[in-house]
Amino acid sequence: MASGNDMKMANETYGGFIGLVKYGSVVVAVVAAGVIALIA
């Protein structure tokens, strides 16, 4: 098992990753909508 300090680092990394995925998904959706609007 990971020590306490490793778990703290892992939780911070996971939190950052989840935040990036949330905002990244929004950006991708907006860009895709823009591309679809240009094509249509």
d(CA 6, CA 13): 10
- Whole-model pTM: value is 0.64
Could you tell me the CA-to-CA distances from 1 to 10, 18, 20, 32 in Å, in that order? 12, 23, 27, 42
pLDDT tens digits for range 1-40: 566 678 889 899 999 999 999 999 999 999 999 999 999 8
